[in-house]
């Protein structure tokens, strides 16, 4: 909040200025008042103010001299001059000193408030420009640091830039810790200002280190928070590792999100920090975590996680579930495959991702016009097994929805018949039986169905069953007789005739064509 100070040799005016308007509505608090310029100057030296409202004619030091003296020590202070009479010379001097306004007594409240609003607008613009300058400086500093840890800047250039940007180079040992704030729905930059978050995290990190050491904190291109701990004593790095989990917890509390922290070996070459940074980043590239806790801390390079993991799964069973289209057993299958196969807290990323991709592609392949981009686009943001499972389920559910979407609006009765076919196509379906549930005559219901769908009810049921049988023939190794029963045909010869009628080829011919 901004501060205002009043100066007038008439005590009633100096005190009355505090109540002449509601200063708080302008974001201004009253810092105090004085009855002469000398006293005012002493108080302002001890406690700077943003706005000074002063009379001209006062004992010991007049208002214009007070303004000159205050500007020398606090150039950003703004001024409003009060006077009992209008003197052109005073106005002229005041203008050269940069006053905001020259207000005659008795004070016109509207004019005073108008001046305050104008000053407040100037303050807001100054703060915005200052923010932009500071933000530009932060971005430039981060870009230089990113180039440094990636080995994309020459030593001499980095040394020169480091001096300009206040990056300390007078330390011997460097250790990289990388903190990943996990947000798999949105990028972190959509939730926080990365450079502001980085500065706050730097403050947290500095609380845990020796006063002789330093922390260089910045966001990298992947929106991870990189903390470079620099010291002249290699023994200090042990305490850094001990405090890393606590730092991760503080960052998690601050953001409200899980945090995954990875440390690396100490580098004894300040310009060789690239290896230290690369070690930490490789962990994110090679692992997923279970994230059962809010924070995960990993110290050192990977060992067991790098071992291959052979995934065994029943693709035929999964395809049958997809063809059947019931979501609950599909979700249970997906969860059992990913959670059941990968039970450790640290999970090999490549094997788990391959499994997830197979689950998603099996569903997408059944669409008429599949969009595969949604399968892969979000995978780079996945850091936890739980997040990956949610992504797989979401893609599969949309795929089922795309596959079963009805392209036009139907009446309630016809929509009910379509839903019955979808849910019970493998069972006996009779228009007569269904019409009784709707309390309608079967002939009228059949005419309504034909009119809206363009097929008779029996033709639609047969076509739907043949589509399901086609998917099973293509995607599984089930015997044709078993497929016939599973889609609602107890008579195999009748199934063959219907299949040839709707598909144009026999089941055997179709399977042979697809295999070939």
Q: Supply the pLDDT for residue 125.
A: 79
Is the backbone of residue 32 left (phi > 0), alpha (psi -120 to 50) or beta? left
**pTM for the model:** 0.58
Q: Supply the pLDDT for residue 70.
A: 92
Q: Which tokens go with 30?
A: 């009253």
Q: Choose which CATH entry (1.10.10.60, 3.30.70.20, 1.10.3720.10, 1.20.120.1810) describes domain 412-515.
A: 1.10.10.60
**Span(s) in the chain for CATH 1.10.10.60:** 412-515
What angle, rounded to 10 degrees, do the helices at 63-73 and 88-97 form? 0
**What is the mean pLDDT for each group of 10 consecutive residues in the chain (516 residues)?**
91 84 90 91 91 88 89 90 72 74 84 89 76 73 87 83 80 88 81 84 84 87 90 80 88 91 82 83 87 80 52 81 88 88 75 86 77 72 89 91 65 85 89 86 90 90 88 85 93 90 83 64
Q: Supply the pLDDT for residue 265.
A: 82
Q: Supply the pLDDT for residue 303.
A: 52
Q: Say which residues have a Cβ less than 8 Å from residue 176's Cβ, sequence separation at least 6.
A: 149, 226, 227, 228, 229, 263, 264, 267, 273, 276, 277, 279, 280
147-300 is a CATH 3.30.70.270 domain: yes
Euclidean distance between CA atoms 299 and 432, whole angstroms: 69
| Percentages (nearest 5) of helix, strand, coil residues in the chain | 60, 15, 30
Evaluate whether 161 touches 144 at the Cβ level (below 8 Å): yes
Strand (E) positions, 265-409?
287-289, 295-299, 346-348
The dihedral sign for the CA sequence 459, 463, 469, 470: positive
**Span(s) in the chain for CATH 3.40.50.2300:** 2-107
Angstrom CA distances, 227 to 62, 194, 216, 360, 482, stand at 54, 14, 6, 37, 61
Q: Supply the pLDDT for residue 214.
A: 87
SS (H, E, C) 35-98: CCHHHHHHHHHHCCCCEEEEECCCCCCCHHHHHHHHHHHCCCCEEEEEECCCCHHHHHHHHHHC
Q: Supply the pLDDT for residue 142.
A: 87
Length, in residues, of the chain? 516
Query: Would you give the DSSP letter of residue 3?
Result: E
Evaluate whether 276 touches 267 at the Cβ level (below 8 Å): yes
Q: Supply the pLDDT for residue 307.
A: 47
Euclidean distance between CA atoms 260 and 195, whole angstroms: 19
Q: Supply the pLDDT for residue 403.
A: 67
Q: Supply the pLDDT for residue 52.
A: 93
CATH number, span 2-107: 3.40.50.2300
Euclidean distance between CA atoms 246 and 234, whole angstroms: 21
**Span(s) in the chain for CATH 3.30.70.270:** 147-300
């Amino acid at each position: 909040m901004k501060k205002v100070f009043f100066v007038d040799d008439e005590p009633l005016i100096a005190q009355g200025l505090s109540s002449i308007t509601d200063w708080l509505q302008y974001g201004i608090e009253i810092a105090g008042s004085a009855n002469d310029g000398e006293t005012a100057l002493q108080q302002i030296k001890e406690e700077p103010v943003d706005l000074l409202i002063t009379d001209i004619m006062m004992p010991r030091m007049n208002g214009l001299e007070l303004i000159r003296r205050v500007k020398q020590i606090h150039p950003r202070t703004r001024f409003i001059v009060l006077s009992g009479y209008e003197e052109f010379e005073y106005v002229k001097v005041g203008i050269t000193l940069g006053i905001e306004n020259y207000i005659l007594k008795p004070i016109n409240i509207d004019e005073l408030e108008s001046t305050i609003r104008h000053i407040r607008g100037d303050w807001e613009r100054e703060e915005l420009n200052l923010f932009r300058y500071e933000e530009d400086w932060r971005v430039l500093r981060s870009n230089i640091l990113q180039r440094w840890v990636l080995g994309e800047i020459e030593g001499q250039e980095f040394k020169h830039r480091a001096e300009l940007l206040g990056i300390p180079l007078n330390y011997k040992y460097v250790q990289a810790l990388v903190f990943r704030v996990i947000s798999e729905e949105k990028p972190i930059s959509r939730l926080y200002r990365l450079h502001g978050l980085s500065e706050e995290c730097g403050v947290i990190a500095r609380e845990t280190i020796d006063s002789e050491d330093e922390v260089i904190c910045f966001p990298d291109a992947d929106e991870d928070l990189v903390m470079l701990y620099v010291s002249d004593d290699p023994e200090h790095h042990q305490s850094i590792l001990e405090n890393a989990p606590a730092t991760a917890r503080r960052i998690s509390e601050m953001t409200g999100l899980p945090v995954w922290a990875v440390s690396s070996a100490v580098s004894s070459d300040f310009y060789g920090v690239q290896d230290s940074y690369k070690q930490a980043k490789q962990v994110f590239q090679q692992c997923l975590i279970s994230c059962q806790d809010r924070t995960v801390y990993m110290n050192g390079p990977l060992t067991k996680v790098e071992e291959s993991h052979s995934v065994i799964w029943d693709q035929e069973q999964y395809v049958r579930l997809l063809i059947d289209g019931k979501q609950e057993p599909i979700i249970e299958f997906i969860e059992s495959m990913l959670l059941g196969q990968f039970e450790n807290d640290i999970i090999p990323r490549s094997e788990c991702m391959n499994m997830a991709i197979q689950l998603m592609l099996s569903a997408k392949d059944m669409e008429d016009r599949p969009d595969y981009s949604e399968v892969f686009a979000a995978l780079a943001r996945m850091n936890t097994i739980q997040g990956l499972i949610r992504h797989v389920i979401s893609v599969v559910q949309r795929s089922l929805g795309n596959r079963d979407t009805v392209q036009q609006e139907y009446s309630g009765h016809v929509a009910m018949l379509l839903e019955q076919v979808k849910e019970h196509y493998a069972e006996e379906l009779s228009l007569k039986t269904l019409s009784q549930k709707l309390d309608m005559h079967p002939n009228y219901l059949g005419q309504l169905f034909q009119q809206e769908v363009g097929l008779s009810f029996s033709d639609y049921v047969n076509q739907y069953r043949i589509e399901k049988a086609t998917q099973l023939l293509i995607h599984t190794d089930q015997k044709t007789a078993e497929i016939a029963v599973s889609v609602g045909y107890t008579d195999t010869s009748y199934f063959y005739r219907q299949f040839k009628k709707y598909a144009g080829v026999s089941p055997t011919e179709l399977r042979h064509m697809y295999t070939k």
